[in-house]
Amino acid sequence: MASLKALKVRINSVKSTQKITKAMKMVAAAKLRRAQEAAVAGRPYAERLEGVMASLASKVTVSESSPKLLAGTGKDQVHLIVVATSERGLAGAFNTNIVRAARKKAEELEGQGKTVRFYLAGKKGRVLKRFYPNGIVADHELGQHKTLGFEQAREIADDLIRRFEAGEFDVAHLFYAKFQSALVQIPTGMQIIPVAVPIDAVSSANDGGAAVTYEPDEEAILADLLPRNVAIQVFRAMLENAASEQGSRMNAMDNATRNAGDMINRLSIQYNRTRQAAITTELVEIISGAEAL
């Protein structure tokens, strides 16, 4: 049985931990509102641009002069999975769920005979190095910037486009956590290179037979929109991740605070029982000694 001193030290230690987790929960709650507003505000633009690009891809006649971001490389062998995670831990299963979804996609592609490589955006995605030690092509840290901005997304997008044009991969998929609430963050995957064409977009384009007129010209518009679309989708993932991370951390720290409280109660009961047993033993010894005299 633990001594009274050891129990008291442990109770004080758990109380200190509880203060830390409670403070972290309050900080996450304060950051969550701003991150949620940014994520929600960025969704309409990103979703609309994604829809426009899908519509263009379904209606434009792809030729040798078409941009590679639209037409692709003509192959579907090498797939690059961009895994966007956070720079810090203590956020529950937030990072684990993203990594698990990315690994599931990788296993599915490998089952089809494809070559899979990973592009890590965030420190917590480095756990993939244990499973794919030779499959990591880049490890991009996001913590080098104090605030989350479009410049970071543009930097990642430019690197992805450069690698794509150099022929390092044929298709790129982006994985992140879509924010629903502080309790729900959904791991989401989407194809960002080349532009994915949904089946419904193709059918609607074929049924409608609408002609698309470009002003000033097709090449100029697509040359600007295609790289911008990649950057916007990466930026949307970063905004969604920021909100999801704070929501998951707030929930995790709330659970940790409650667990610490339960542990303090159990340790306090054990401490009181041990103390009472010690007092009872001393009384018995005193009474026994008095009767012996």
Beta strands in the chain (DSSP E): 78-84, 115-121, 136-140, 171-179, 185-193
* Per-residue model confidence (pLDDT) at position 206: 47
End-to-end CA distance of the chain: 32
Q: Which fold has domain 4-20+253-292?
A: Helix Hairpins (1.10.287)
Residues 6+ apart with CB under 8 A from 248: 91, 92, 93, 94, 177, 182, 185
d(CA 225, CA 194): 13
Q: In what order do the strands lie in the sheet with 185-193?
A: 136-140, 115-121, 78-84, 171-179, 185-193
* Residue whose tokens read 């969704």: 43
Read off the pLDDT of residues 111-124 as tens digits, 9 standing for 90 and up. 999 999 999 988 89
Closest CA to 176 of 226, 124, 116: 124
* Per-residue model confidence (pLDDT) at position 85: 92
* Structure tokens given for 177: 């956590």
Q: Thinking of the domain 35-249, which architecture would CATH place it in?
A: 3-Layer(aba) Sandwich (3.40)
Read off the pLDDT of residues 7-30 as tens digits, 9 standing for 90 and up. 889 999 999 999 999 999 999 999
- Weakest mean pLDDT among 69-78, 124-133, 151-160: 69-78
The total of other beta-carbon atoms located within 10 Å of residue 148's CB is: 16
Read off the pLDDT of residues 51-99 as tens digits, 9 standing for 90 and up. 877 777 766 666 666 778 877 788 889 999 999 998 888 888 899 999 9
Candidate ranges 49-53, 91-95, 216-220, 275-279; pick with highest mean pLDDT: 91-95
pLDDT at 156 over 60: yes
* Structure tokens given for 220: 């100029």
* Per-residue model confidence (pLDDT) at position 264: 92
d(CA 285, CA 279): 10
- Which residue ranges make up each domain of the chain? 4-20+253-292, 35-249
